[in-house]
Amino acid sequence: IYLEEMNNINQKDSAFEYESKGFYPHILVNDFPIRGKQLLLDIRRRRWINKDTGEYVDRDFHIVAEGTRITQEFATFLKGLRR
């Protein structure tokens, strides 16, 4: 499944103006199998540049469990099986 972050950033509360500057390299993440088939998420995160400071901005989605290539929910499920 291919997931691509939408091109919108919350500028209502910000005095700065942002411009989309493409994507970070995509990541592949294993998730819960569906009907016995492997499920891979191909995730592309967008980045923006602050036009005033030249600084890159992104959102940090905590999708991947630390130190793995699987979602946090799937990692929790697998830990539960070990007990």
At residue 13, the pLDDT reads: 58
Kindly list the averaged pLDDT for each block of 10 residues, start to end, along the chain of length 83.
84 75 86 80 88 84 67 76 65
Using DSSP bridges, classify how beta strands 27-34 and 56-57 pair: parallel, antiparallel or unpaired: unpaired
Q: Please tell me the predicted confidence (pLDDT) of residue 66.
A: 66
Buried b (16+ CB within 10 A) or exposed e, 50-64: eeeeeeeeeeeeebb
First to last CA, the chain: 31
Domain layout of the chain by residue ranges: 2-81
